[in-house]
Amino acid sequence: MSGSAQNEIALAKVVHRDPEIHSGDLVFTGTRVPVDSLVDYLKGGRSIEEYLQDYPTVERWQLESYLDFSPLGMDFLRGRDESAS
């Protein structure tokens, strides 16, 4: 399995899109919590601890993995969206 395929599998455990969940927004896998909510929290100066308290269905490892993957994640999702067009 190539590194790219492994990254896609790992990323799918962290975030995903489904048109039936939150209008197809990017959400944390296994939740209905949009990733944008994390971005809003961090931009607003709120802490990761506050976020995890307010969204208890998001696991710390998912949040940390998303932050680690985010540049890769955005490229992956952008590429997926472009190939669907």
SS3 23: helix
Q: Which residues span the domain enclosing 22?
A: 3-84
Distance of alpha carbon 11 from alpha carbon 13, whole angstroms: 5
Place 3 in a pLDDT band, splitting at 50, 70 and 90: low
Number of domains the chain contains: 1
pTM of the model: 0.73
The CATH number of whichever domain residue 64 belongs to comes to 1.10.10.10
Q: Each residue of 6-45: pLDDT tens digit?
A: 666 677 889 999 999 989 899 999 999 999 999 888 888 8
Q: What share of the chain is helix, strand, coil (3-state, %, to 5)?
A: 65, 5, 30
